[in-house]
Structure 1
Amino acid sequence: MNRTIALVLVSLLASGCATTGGVTSFTNAGDTANLHEKERRLWHEASGVDSTIERSGQIYEDRRATAYLQGVMDRLYPEFKGKIQVHLYDSTQLNAFALPNGSIYFNIGLLARMENEAQLAAVLAHEAAHFIEKHSFRQRVSAKNLSAFAVSGIPFASLAAVSSISGFSRDLEREADMKGYERLTKAGYDPHEAHKVFEHLASEVKALGIEEPYFFSSHPQLVERIETFKELSARRKKGGRVGAEDYNRVMQAIRLDALRKDVGQDRYKSVILVMEDPGLRRYYPASGYYYLGEAYSRRDEKGDTARALQAWQKAEKLSPRFAPTYKSLGMHYMKTGNKGQARRYFGKYLSLASKDARDRAYVQQYMSSL
């Protein structure tokens, strides 16, 4: 999340997060028309956050996936249809967050890690519960803490740590768990899938040593979610909608794009973890092996050149029309002095890549130099 958005979020949460007496939860969409003055101000600030995010270009444009997530949300909370709006957030970091006006932002990195619709529904139900229960309004920082926001030069991590993106108080998070669980089961989803998404995330956060100050990147927070959902589902029989086929069909392009973005941001550890784990890799397109090769190439540790070559060769075999693989193979053979193989792979790249591919001119130059 960029600094501008983080600053706006901090301002928003500082002004509106309060434990206040007499706060009543929303019961349906009509309730949102009856806000008192402080809530209206909070909603106005939330709309400002929406505008800032949109202007920053951080909305991930995928109409099909956005409509799919919105459909799941509307199934969970049909009486709030039109008031809870789900947006895809263009970040590979593991997070999702709710604003007090009903805007839900879901990072594509988190979407890429889930296995099915039931797991998605568990997170959506949890985030929407924050909105319906007015958690932003009920949790307010003290006046002493508020004074800190006026101090210039506060590190970004410190700002993110006090915003909604890092989660609410323990009691409010537990309330969101319970309220979300109720909606999950009422909508007919298998509740036994809920804890699995948090288990996968906790394993990744621990394995990669992730220290990002976000709720779904916090190992202690994830462990608590696991325990809570296991306890809630222990008394229920397995069964209900899982939706693995639908989910994975919609998320194929997002998963591949998340790999691409991780490589571009040198988050190669994440790419290697995912693509070397058979349980995770099975949800990714075969062209994901190309990004595994790129990750090894960028890591550049002992043995990584051979690992990168092996990954690119798998991508060539399993996804033969994925053009970027051939450029990387061409570069590999050019560097190792095999001009014949380099020309062959560069030629294959040029035959498959679009006419306006930005690397086309460079590859043509490489070809002419061989």
Structure 2
Amino acid sequence: MAEHLPLTRRAMIAGLGCACCTGLFAGEALARISPAAMRPLIGPGYRPTDADERGMWQQYERVEQEIAGSNLLITDPQLVSYLSSIVSRVGGPAAQDLRIYLARVPEFNAFMAPTGFMVVFSGLLTRMRDEAQLSAVIAHEAGHFLRRHHIRRWRDVRRRTDLFAIFAMAAGVGGAGTGVYLGDAVRLAHVGTILTLAAYSRELEAEADAMGVRLMAETGYDPMAAPDVWRQMTQEIEASAEMRRRRPRRGYSLLASHPAPESRMADLRASADEVKTGGRAYDRGRERYLNALGGYRKTLIDDQVKLNDPGASLYIIRNLAADGWNGLLRYYEGETYRLRGRRGDRELAERSYAEAVRLADAPPEAWRAHGYALIRIGRREEGKAALSRYLALAPNAPDAAMVRFSIQQ
């Protein structure tokens, strides 16, 4: 199990701000690009021959070295192997050349480099309901690689600025704007700046959508998972803004460079219908996904809740619970209310804790929270029994001595 995040929310968001704040909802909607029109432009073992593309690859090879040395990476072999298996499945003809890194950052983000490496933020895994939804994001990013979007956009931007100079500046910009030392967050911000300065046009995004949906269907995933992902993200952003009484902001998520208006949802649904073959059963892979996350799911949800964005957290938890409530989700529902701290939230939290411990898979912490809640309302013996249950489930917990003292009082 990974340790708790070594970064404060302020530091993390500040450091990643320059990585992800390319939120341009520009231009009119394009005509939908048919998945049938999308063909991979590269095959296995591709290497560039043009001088400018070779230079771009050299820069991104240095970026990959920087990412590989970050202590924000989750390196659990089984989990990384699982992600790699999905890349191999939906990566198209060049799948063997693709690599994936998982960064422990609880935001919804992923990006693809032209040299074949992909970075997925852990917040993406937090939000996905099944393997098909995860494959939708990975296939979309693979679509950028297969359609050579990086060099197409790179050449366009090079006509207007010197990206090679920006490579040298990006890390300094990431740190100077915050006034704090961000360590690995700045390194990821540096990387993200490089990868997002040449944000894709709406046409290239539409191509990646069409290519991704095609890759999903060809490999047996339900392509309807693609519009589901973007719908969920739009609703999460709106839920977060509503609770904060602010206008929705999409500037620091994957939606910054991947806008998701209703027209795009309609295009994704139409493309999914187009690529489906009548009578074929398509895979969602929910159980495989949950099994692959295993104990990490608790860490992922914990990281999200500790961001103290209750609107987003409650939306995520309830969206995951659409497939069925469990003890873990109920417990973190209670934690979200507790951290929000509005009038009546303590009672809502205690109700969630009580519902959590009725479920067989409640985490030990739910019994602790429920026990203290019972003691608070005068049901001391029941509360002490719940705390004893917590100690039985987590005898080596950091607060075990304190809980034992509470029981003795």
TM-score bin (small chain): 0.7 to 0.9
SS in 1 for 2:114: coil
The residue number in structure 1 matching 2:341 is 300
Aligned 8 A contact 1:5 1:49 in 2: no
Shift of 1:98: 0.8
Shift of 1:314: 1.2
Shift of 1:312: 0.6
The residue number in structure 2 matching 1:222 is 260
The residue number in structure 1 matching 2:45 is 30
| 270, 273, 276: which one aligns with 1:231 | 270
Matches within 5 A, 1:321-340: 322-336=363-377, 339-340=380-381
Deviations 1:88-144 (A, max 9, x none): 221221121112221112223222323333332222111012223332222233545
Shift of 1:145: 8.0
Identical columns (%): 24
Residues paired across the two proteins, number = 352
The residue number in structure 2 matching 1:309 is 350
Q: Measure, in 2, the Cα distance between the counterparts of 1:132 and 1:236.
A: 18
The residue number in structure 2 matching 1:16 is none
SS in 1 for 2:72: coil
TM-score between the two structures when normalised by the length of structure 2? 0.73
Matches within 5 A, 1:1-370: 27-32=42-47, 34-77=48-91, 79-140=93-154, 141=157, 143=160, 153-154=176-177, 164=195, 167-209=199-241, 211-214=249-252, 216-218=254-256, 221-223=259-261, 225-237=264-276, 239-244=280-285, 245-251=287-293, 253-277=295-319, 280-282=321-323, 285-319=326-360, 322-336=363-377, 339-355=380-396, 357-368=397-408, 370=409
Paired amino acid for 2:222: D
Shift of 1:343: 3.0
Paired amino acid for 1:201: M
Paired amino acid for 2:206: R
Structure number with greater CO (CA < 8 Å, separation at least 6) is 2
TM-score between the two structures when normalised by the length of structure 1? 0.80
SS in 1 for 2:102: strand
Aligned 8 A contact 2:304 2:313 in 1: yes
Shift of 1:293: 1.0
Shift of 1:172: 1.4
SS in 2 for 1:243: coil
SS in 2 for 1:200: helix
Shift of 1:200: 1.8
Q: Measure, in 1, the Cα distance between the counterparts of 2:361 and 2:225.
A: 35
Deviation larger for 77-86 or 248-257: 248-257
Question: Structure 1 residues 84 and 49 mapped into 2: Cα distance closer, same or farther (>3 Å)?
Answer: same
Tell me the C-alpha RMSD between the 2 structures. Answer: 3.6
Q: Measure, in 1, the Cα distance between the counterparts of 2:226 and 2:147.
A: 20
Q: Measure, in 2, the Cα distance between the counterparts of 1:52 and 1:162.
A: 13
Paired amino acid for 2:235: S
